[in-house]
Amino acid sequence: MASIDVEDILPKLTTREKVELLSGVDFWHTKSFPQYGVPSLRLSDGPNGVRGQRNFCGTPGAVLPCGTGLGATWDQDLLFRAGKLMSDEAKAKGAHVILGPCINMQRGPLGGRGFESISEDPVLAGLAAAALTSGLQSEGVAGCIKHFVCNDQEHQRSLYDAQVTQRALREIYLLPFQIVARDANPKMFMTSYNKVNGTHASESKGLLQDVLRDEWKWDGAIVSDWFGTYSTSEAINTGLDLEMPGPTRFRGNALGHAISSGKISLNTLDERARAMLKLVDRCAPSGIKERAEEIELNTPETSSLLRKLASDSIVLLKNNNRLLPLSKNKSTVVIGPNAKVSIFCGGGSSALEPYYAITPFDGIVSKLGCSDLKYTVGAYSHKELPLLGNMLKSLEGKPGVSFSAYLDPPSVPSRNRVDYKIVKKTDMFLFDYLCPQDTTGLWYADIEGFMTPEMDGEFELGLCVYGTGRLFVDGVLVVDNATKQRQGTVFFGCGTVEEIGIVQVKKNQTYHVKVEFGSAATNTLGAGGVVRFGGGGVRLGGAFKIDPMEEIERAVALTRDAEQVVICCGLNADWEGEGNDRQDMSLPGHLDTLISRVTKCNPNTVVVLQAGSPVEMPWIYNVPAVLQAWYGGNECGNAIADILFGDINPSGKLPLTFPKRLKDNPTYLHYKSERGRTLYGEDIYIGYRYYEALELDVLFPFGHGLSYTTFAFSELRISKDDKTGIFKISCLVTNTGTVAGAEVVQLYIAQRNPSIRRPEKELKGFSKVFLEPGEKKEVSVRMEIKYAVSFWDEAKNRWVAERDTYKVLVGSTSALSGDALRGSFEMDRTWWWNGL
């Protein structure tokens, strides 16, 4: 892929060619113009890995921790390395543009895609995303920052109007994007689905042109979220360069007509085409060939970095009586629904097929070197039944199921098979699958495999479809999800609820499981879902039916005589995924009861939570140790074991406040869309800003995270150079314990006498340092003065830095324990500013 001369090529393009440049040709590719040396670009989903161009039967890849997990590292150097790894993965997938990082704010704990975002704080989100983007773009791959802006919920996400004050918009929601634009200059921005103050983001001149391009002087390309373009003239005129996916809905002939009628000027068309040509040229240093074949980069070096990312993201929330680290020489019992399943990522567009995925159980077994580790599930946590793929064998005896595609329905005798695949995962979203020889979108598939249970009992089978489906076991109809369908939340809200059937199975007997599927065109649900596209979807799950109380009693009995117990639980992609928000903050099912009962029986119990956002913990005062392990990617299980048994000292810090209960969070009264409106009534008081303003007790504060060692802060120094505009603090950090570990220096600023109400304090910078026992290092945090002190002046429509005294607060958590350092500095004049 060679560089191009943008200004030489642009006048050579015909009007029609310029129009064609501004929309995708398929789900992932832009238009090529070989006669001008302009190649097609491939875009690919991130932000915690690189999927490539296929969702269904895609090339496996490296899965990084989810966004909140990456934010929990508080380590910009490590995140640069994570971005570099994504760059390498992009090259392997032939992808020129990666759709990420995601830096929308975690307004509240219920957001379906909250796990993709980095933090509730704009500075942490912005600096972390800048580090990721810098690493990602270090060798020519383009980062696409998303979603610009206020895409902070899934409920009616294409419809709702985020009604937010200009001050909150600037200080909270735009600020992380501003920081990334300043520090990393991403090559692309993606607009959000929603409206902001009355106008869809993809049609907002105020956001795309006035702020992003004119004020911030950013000159990259802007792409819509997929199916997030809603107009022809408005979107083009306000700055949206690329409509995705293709084929186009709003450009093509419609755009040509708008130009011929004068609704869009040729000059504006040139601006949009220039942005796309610049993007092509800026991707040239990547060396990625046009429509390159995808390969795998599953190397020891990749695994090592993934393991470090996962372990450094884990937060030690509680550790009474130094229960952790556990002993490798004591009898150990593992229970919980997340133990023998790798919950490596959330659901939706960020999900991808991993090279491999280590479960916590496997990680612990490897760590202890035993093959007879005691285990029971204790309680289920699924919303839909667990995927059945790992229990099935294809017609050839390989792991997974056989997928046979036909153009005719099962009622047609001797129909011809047009495609055949072996699929490991029984959650098949077929939006990018093209059935061979199909021209109408109407096709059928037989999805079948063989199951040999390890025990007797009643086995539940569940089937969700976007399309139609019937599930058979040994030829007997068990689930009919075709005759009568009910709207569900799977497949971005396009699919049905899970219909369940029960079969009686015997140990070591083999059963033939078969789904007769009809593509999306056979769907009977009508309108519904976030977006509707592609070939449809099939989700096949199953699990033994258990009596919840009997299983909890079994877990209690198993753990009664154990010297140490690990409960692996939390959420999963059923509960946190694109297209649907959570309904509450509770752990699903009977998990709270399980935790309470086991801990009461055995006080040497540690709870390992996996979730991308906060959960309520009614048992917290009785559980001695809790780890927050997020969705940790390929190496999540090994990382959990590394922390549990002390081979790695935990150093993660919460990028979110964990409230005690849902009603305590600042968005409780106005989170979802009401008649198409979402009122951002908490204004600038998001996350810890809100809890501190109300002096409201929380479960765990923002920035919290314990260690197996102890640290002390001392000798705070503050410097402010008005000539250079630089503000800097430094302090000594000493490891006062007996174990090597890492600590995060968190810098907060508070204005003493502001002219308007401001938060008690705000995070302005941070730095992570690793220390051996007894070692001390000077740690510095540096920034521009204007970013340290300013707030948005709505009267003047500019940032203002007021004359006043500013308090400097430095500690290891926003709670600022007794060893926090305190100082102050003066601003001797008031001044206003705009831009970066």
* CA–CA separation, 137 and 78 (whole Å): 15
- Structure tokens, 201: 């983001």
Tokens, residue 723: 């000539």
* CA 350, chain centre distance (Å): 6
Contact 718, 827 (CB under 8 A): no
Residue 699: its H or E element: none
Q: In what order do the strands lie in the sheet with 605-610?
A: 315-319, 625-628, 605-610, 564-570, 332-335, 374-376
| Catalytic residue status for 225 | yes
Angle subtended at Cα 484 by Cα 383 and Cα 459, rounded to the nearest 5 degrees: 45
Beta bridge partners of 791: 800
Paired tokens of 515: 């789904």
User: CA 157 to CA 183: how far, in whole Å?
Assistant: 29
In contact, 685 and 296? CB cutoff 8 Å: no
DSSP state of 725: T
Cα 476 to Cα 409, 499, 501, 512: the distances in Å are 18, 16, 11, 10
Query: Rounded to an integer, what distance in angstroms lies between the CA atom of residue 614 and that of residue 610?
Result: 10
Instruction: Tell me the C-alpha distance between 573 and 322, whole Å.
Output: 32
Only one residue has tokens 């992808």, namely 95
Q: Which helix (H) or strand (E) holds 91?
A: helix 76-92
Q: Taking the CB of residue 453, how many other CB atoms lie within 10 A of it?
A: 18
CB contact set of 87 (below 8 Å; sequence gap of 6+): 135, 136, 137, 138, 139, 141, 286
Q: Which two tokens stand for residue 421?
A: 């695949």
Q: Which of 650, 653, 588, 660 is nearest to 619 (CA)?
A: 660
Out of 45, 225, 432, 574, which one is annotated catalytic? 225
Q: Find the helix or strand (DSSP H, E) in which 202 lies.
A: none
* Separation between Cα atoms, residue 167 and residue 400, nearest integer Å: 52
Cα distance between residue 820 and residue 812, in whole Å: 8
Cβ contact 812:743 at 8 Å = yes
Q: Are 26 and 43 in contact (CB under 8 A)?
A: no
d(CA 233, CA 250): 9
Alpha helices by DSSP H, 683-750: 688-693
- What angle, rounded to 10 degrees, do the helices at 76-92 and 122-136 form? 40
- What are the beta bridge partners of residue 711? 735
Q: Cite the active site residues.
A: 225
